[in-house]
Amino acid sequence: MTGLDDFGYDLYEADAAGISLYYFTYDYGNGDQYYGYTFASDIDYEVGAIYDYYSGNNQAGFNGTYTITGQISGYDSSVLSSLGQVVVYAYYDANTSGNLYTPVAYSQGLSSGINYLGSESDYLVTATNELDLFGYDYYEADDLLG
């Protein structure tokens, strides 16, 4: 059979990429950071790699970046519905309050994004009980009275 590969002739197997959970840190460039994880294909991200989905400056005036800090592979199709979901479990407000916050969505058991890194947004609750938006590789939260 000319022009066809040998798949199916007991010579080769077809391997689909597996599913991994990737831990990440988003760094605003001014000391503020947030931490989370996302489910993606084994080939979507690389541990130690830096990703930038919005090439302009973020709200803090810097070009923030994502760093993949860890990977747990071997997930099966039972987590297919989680592919692309982004969970942010902590926000560190280094430049104003110096406090570590639990984002609102995480405190309610919800994801912060549904379309991989760069799609996430969430809020932190400030010392004055106001909601301050962060995420999308742009918005920075500050708790000025924290």
List, for residues 92-114, the tens digit of each pLDDT value: 999 999 999 999 999 999 999 99
Average of pLDDT values for 110-124?
97
The C-alpha atoms of residue 43 and residue 36 are separated, in whole angstroms, by 19
3-state secondary structure of 79: helix
Task: Give percent of the chain above pLDDT 70.
Answer: 88
Residue spans of the domains in the chain: they are 19-135
Among 110, 120, 103, 105, CA closest to 53? 120
Residue-wise pLDDT for 52-92, tens only, equals 999 899 999 999 999 999 999 999 889 999 999 999 999 99
Q: Given this model, what pLDDT does residue 17 score?
A: 73
Mean of per-residue pLDDT scores for the chain: 91
Q: Are strands 86-93 and 65-75 parallel, antiparallel or unpaired?
A: unpaired
Say if CB 87 and CB 70 are below 8 A apart. no
Residue 145 or residue 20, greater confidence? 20
